Structure 1
């Protein structure tokens, strides 16, 4: 998801790099949400809901050349009937902060009870 940082994450990153203010590091673990309508840099999309759906914990490998990706499969069991068009990455703060967003290469439709999987390496995060 190159250039898919939210406005909030962009501001936090710039403030940290430039030594401005006191940017707060995201609360871990980071969580991946599935969306049925994509958001924008400024606004969240429409998150999937129902069935056994819940946000999944993101684990990433160390960054290489400004890029990293999920180091473990992300699996959602007992999905609701939905067409998933993208993902969002949120922190785990008491009031979660949305950090990344992006469309899937191809949307995927699930029937009630289906499993949805993003294999290791499928979620690529880049600052380039």
Structure 2
């Protein structure tokens, strides 16, 4: 998801890089699945129903301005839905949306299906 930081994340990154804050996102970071993609300033439409819940994401240390999920992300018991993208949120009391992006190919799940993003498949970079 190159260049898909939300406006909030862009501002926080600039503040950190310029020494205006030492605040990091509240971890663990959470991955949300969406049925309609968001934008820099507005969240997408998150999947609801079934056993769906946001998943904790771990990432490897960044190399050359990029990183990716270091473990599989698996949602079991999905509702019937067409997943078109993902969003990454922190775990603050009022969660902050940091990243968003469309899937290369949308995936439709039937009720009870699993949805998996393999380790290394959720690539994050700052372009």
Q: In 2, distance between residues paired with 1:59 and 1:36?
A: 23
Under a length normalisation based on structure 2, what TM-score does the superposition of the two structures give?
0.98
Q: State whether residues 78 and 113 of structure 1, in contact with CA within 8 Å, keep that contact through their aligned partners in structure 2.
A: yes
**Aligned residue number for residue 8 of structure 1:** 8
Aligned residues: CA RMSD: 0.7
Runs of 4+ in 1 over 3 A off after TM superposition: none
Q: State whether residues 80 and 113 of structure 1, in contact with CA within 8 Å, keep that contact through their aligned partners in structure 2.
A: yes
Shift of 1:115: 0.1
Shift of 1:7: 0.3
**Aligned residue number for residue 31 of structure 2:** 32
Q: Please show how residues 54-65 of structure 1 align to structure 2 within 5 Å.
A: 54-65=53-64
**Aligned residue number for residue 90 of structure 2:** 91
Structure 2 residues without counterparts, runs of 5 or longer? none
Q: In 2, distance between residues paired with 1:48 and 1:83?
A: 9
Q: In 1, distance between residues paired with 2:57 and 2:12?
A: 20
**Aligned residue number for residue 114 of structure 2:** 115
Q: In 2, distance between residues paired with 1:43 and 1:37?
A: 11
Shift of 1:23: 5.4
Aligned length: 127
Shift of 1:54: 0.2
- Cα deviations across residues 39-66 of structure 1 (Å, max 9, x unaligned)? 0000000000000000000010111000
